[in-house]
Amino acid sequence: MRWILALAPALALLLGSCASLPRPIAPAAPPASAPAASSAPAPAATPAVPAAAASAATSLPLRPASFDQLPGWESDDFQDLWQAWRRDCDAHVALLARACAASAAIRADDKSAQRAFFEQWFRPWRLLAPDGDDRGLVTGYYEPVFAGSTTRGWPYVVPLWGPPSDLVDLPASAGGEVRRGRRVVEADGSTRIEPFWSREQIQRDAQARQALSHDVVAWLQSPVDALFLQVQGSGLLRLPDGSLLRLSFAGDNGWPYRSVGRWLLDRGDLRGTVTMQSIRAWAQMHPDQVQDMLDANPRVVFFRATPLDGPARGPVGALGVPLTAMRSVAVDKRLLALGMPLWVSTTSGGQPLRRLVFAQDVGGAIRGALRADWFFGTGDAAGQAAGRMQSPGAMWILLPRQQP
């Protein structure tokens, strides 16, 4: 699983409990569908989506809709859409099994057949918040690329750690806000479990840093880069020889995420919308306060490092498949099942952004109804666009008309 946090508000508030929710509204019978394209086989029948299927996909209330009610449906160019859909099918989501089988013969370059396929096999439903609100928040994230090294040496002196061997989950009965701990061996040989170190504790405790030194997977130049990488949950390192290393989420220290952006706002150091760029600029102007800012977020993310197996292949999301730029979103999986197709209507840079996307990831800052964190891709340009993404939006879930 990849722990990806929103760039805004995870960066709009670095940069940032589910009570029981009402059952979904029982869907009504769908309208008659248009004739299928010859290369997009239609299901034998288009019955009403049973409430049980809706419950398997989401615990949010639903309002019946149709494709002609989706703002911008005909304008989506379906660029890279089929790649994201076939990756969805690789995850073997039970609710999508029949639709995936029916789509296997459709060509990746046949956009009209792809559109006809979704219109034939799916029915859109407007997602609502438990209180009936139909507007939510859409943010953006990306995969950063930083200069780094697998060995320590100037200027690469900031460690990134893999999961420690003594990291354990704390029992639910332990209470408190920390969810993970570490094994401590006493002088008499007995073992006890204590909460894992926070970011601040690691910084202040030489013994903690020494213990973690055995788990270093890479080194960066800047502690602010390390924080941004942990917020995004994955990234690429460009090594001194020019090769690339992919860092993927491999766990965390169990402490709650705290927004350094909120910390800066509360102090009055920044105002308005906080972005990655404004945080970095503040850090450059206040180097003596950077560690205090970093310590405001006690969560530490651990990484797995692997050689890059293809620059065009995105990072692997929580669904277990590579993400597709502008077609993958992170959601709150307590409320929306991973893998489900979604229509999201929002704005980016003042322009409409309306696309068919897939819920293929999660994020520590992505919590609550009608929240989507849009994956913008890899590199600086994607980061610039993702950093500005914080807009209200509406969401529809596409439920298959016929169930497996």
CATH number of 51-140+319-400: 2.40.40.10
Helix (H) or strand (E) holding 85: helix 81-90
Terminal CA-CA length for the chain: 26
CA torsion through residues 144, 370, 57, 33, sign = negative
Q: What single-letter DSSP state applies at residue 3?
A: B
Identify the pLDDT of residue 402: 65
Q: Is 259 left (phi over 0), alpha (psi -120 to 50) or beta?
A: beta
What span, in angstroms and rounded, lies between the C-alpha atoms of 364 and 376? 18
Query: Which residues of the chain register pLDDT less than 70?
Result: 1-53, 310-312, 402-404
Domains of the chain, by residue range, sit at 51-140+319-400
pTM attached to this predicted model: 0.76
Identify the pLDDT of residue 51: 64
Q: What single-letter DSSP state applies at residue 68?
A: G
3-class DSSP state of 124: strand
Identify the pLDDT of residue 4: 37
Q: What single-letter DSSP state applies at residue 25?
A: P
CA torsion through residues 257, 259, 260, 262, sign = negative
Distance of CA 121 to the CA centre of its chain: 26
Instruction: Report the amino acid identity of residue 99.
Output: A
What span, in angstroms and rounded, lies between the C-alpha atoms of 217 and 203? 18
Instruction: Show the 3-state SS of 186-250.
Output: CCCCCEEEEECCCHHHHHHCHHHHHHHHHHEEEEECCHHHHHHHHHHCEEEEECCCCCEEEEEEE
What span, in angstroms and rounded, lies between the C-alpha atoms of 355 and 339? 16
pLDDT tens by residue, 268-287 = 999 987 888 899 999 999 99
Give the bridge partners for 345, in sequence order: 354, 394
Q: What single-letter DSSP state applies at residue 322?
A: B
Helix (H) or strand (E) holding 354: strand 351-361
Identify the pLDDT of residue 387: 82
Residue 196: closest CA among 258, 252, 248: 252
Other Cβ atoms within 10 Å of 315 Cβ, number: 23
